Structure 1
Amino acid sequence: MPKPISTAIQFYTTSSYDCSYLAHKRARSLVAAPSHLINNTNYSALIDVGFRRSGTFIYRPHCEPCHACTPLRVDTTRFAPSRSFKRTLKQFQHLSTTRKPLVWNDEHYALYRDYQAARHTGSDMDNADKSQYIEFLLASNVNSYLIEFRDGPTLKMVALIDEVEQGISAVYTFFDPLVSGLGTYGILWQINYCQQLQLPWLYLGYWIQQSRKMAYKTRFAPYQLFLHGEWVSSPAP
């Protein structure tokens, strides 16, 4: 049962814009406002009905008649790593982790730029300047922090996460684009982190069946999809 959302929160629909995931599609977002009222309690309720966060912008897709964007959350209480996932965990078990606040860090920004240049060449994210980086990753009104992953002194990955009442939201992760498997390890680490905190859900954002870029999310079974106003469990792996 989704948590009640404060009546002080209002919602509006944006104008249409080019869809980031499906070619030749237009998109709209349903936005929760005002942003300063979206504290951790309110966001915990909103994320349970399919909302996500980008900076202080709280939204969910609202693209009639398209319903391709489907919220997905991993059931961390039932998750058990496959053989492939165990190999990934072993491969990166030497990485150290440190929790960091949302403050500017030159080293983080340099890694972010390298990641965007390799993974999103020519996109708006590839062209992100310092102010856009700060607005996207370092602005939050909820319980957010960064996790650094280092190989000795060398920064390898940074994960921005939101800790809500019922789980962890994987907001964004960027990493050394020359090291294969780091992205998968980042998700496995966050699943394990949920288990340590005894939080049942890892929210992985939106899954789009037609998008190859999103296919990796359903590898982390068991999971639930938010369909027609309720969370529906995936078939047993």
Structure 2
Amino acid sequence: MTEHFPSKIGLSQQFDCSYLPDRKEQLLVILDHECYSAERFEALLSLGFRRSGDQIYRPHCPMCNACQSVRVLAQQYTASKSQKRKYKKIKNGFSIQVSYDEKPNYYPLYEKYISERHQDGTMYPPNRLQYESFLFCRWMPISFIELWHEEKLVAIAVTDTMPNALSAIYTFFDPDYEHMSLGTVMIMAQIDLAKSENKQYVYLGYQIDECKKMRYKKQFLPAQQFKEDVWTNI
């Protein structure tokens, strides 16, 4: 598949934006079943698309282009001083493991994370059906990057795996460890995994400068953003 839009695309209805309360959101949705493979999805990632559950989508909002896809150049990435300090926090007593299968202890951690950290969000209250339909996928290989503190699972980064890239889907962690900057730590763990597997990019999803909780993705450099259908260096 070349880097062109597929011929079968749907357009969702408009609905309230999850990140900018004064805006309406609308999505392009891929309807071409031939696009639903890791190889073809990787080409769509380069066109600003994302995955949620089994569905591939891209924002196509009226009067708004706030969502800008960001990807880290994994092989060239160098941690900032602040990021190095945060990563050092997990040197003693912590370990990172990678699983390729979901485990029973993932959902209780997700449930605690949503219940304590996102009571004002659309995913509250959490339930298993929502968890499975949002994070998992029948046609995509998924890696689960686990952070353990001794014998306790404290964070999971759900990560799509493609031939030349990783895509960060969602990270959840034990709120008792919030002081450990685990959001940053888990992105660095994803970049480390991409480096070890000789992958070029780690896609971090959409940067939304007008939304405080969605501004962090430009902190992992070097990186590029997809703006006006062109990848440009940040």
Is the structural similarity TM-score above 0.5?
yes
- Give 4+ residue runs of structure 1 displaced > 6 Å after superposition: none
The answer for the alignment partner of 2:100 in structure 1 is 101
Matched pairs, number: 231
For residue 51 of structure 1, what is the aligned residue in structure 2? 49
Residue 196 of structure 2 is matched in structure 1 by 196
Given that residues 173 and 183 in structure 1 are in contact (C-alpha distance below 8 angstroms), is that contact kept between their aligned partners in structure 2?
A: yes
> What are the superposed Cα offsets for residues 59-117 of structure 1, whole Å, 9 maximum, x if unpaired?
01000221110000111222111221111121113422333234452x21111011111
Structure 1 residues 230 and 4, CA gap change in structure 2 (3 angstroms): same
Question: What is residue 187 of structure 1 aligned with on the other side?
Answer: 187
Decide whether aligned partners of structure 1 residues 3 and 91 sit closer, same or farther in structure 2, where only a CA change above 3 A counts: farther
CA distance in 2, matches of 1:109, 1:6: 35
SS at match of 2:110: helix
Moved more, 12-21 or 83-92: 83-92
Give the structure 2 partner of residue 157 of structure 1: 155
Residues 139-177 of structure 1: CA deviation (Å, up to 9, x unaligned)? 331121212211121010011101122211000110011
In the alignment, which of 25, 28, 41 is matched to residue 26 of structure 2?
Answer: 28
2:220 paired residue number? 220
Which residue does 1:126 correspond to in 2?
Answer: 124
Instruction: Spell out the pairing of 1:45-124 with structure 2 (5 A cutoff).
Output: 45-94=43-92, 95-103=94-102, 105=104, 107-124=105-122
Q: State the partner residue of 1:208.
A: 208
* Shift, 1:34, TM fit: 4.3
Between 1:202-211 and 1:96-105, the stretch displaced more is 96-105
Measured in 2, the distance between the counterparts of 1:108 and 1:155 equals: 8
Question: Helix, strand or coil for the counterpart of 2:75?
Answer: coil
Whether the aligned pair in 2 keeps the contact of 1:74 and 1:202 (CA below 8 Å) is yes
TM-score (ref. length: structure 1): 0.91
**Tell me, which stretches of 5 or more residues in structure 1 are unaligned?**
none
In the alignment, the residues of structure 1 paired with residue 155 and residue 28 of structure 2 have an alpha-carbon distance, to the nearest angstrom, of 31
Deviates more, 1:162-171 or 1:115-124: 115-124
- Give the corresponding residue for 2:172: 174
What is the identity, as a one-letter code, of the residue corresponding to 2:99?
Answer: K
Long gaps (5+) in structure 2: none
Mapped partners of 1:96, 1:15: distance in 2: 44
| TM-score normalised by L of structure 2 | 0.92
Please say if residues 167 and 194 of structure 1, whose CA atoms lie closer than 8 Å, have aligned partners that are also in contact.
yes
Distance 2:30 2:217 in 1: 25
**Sequence identity of aligned pairs in percent?**
33
RMSD over equivalenced CA pairs, Å: 1.9
Paired letter, 2:224: Q
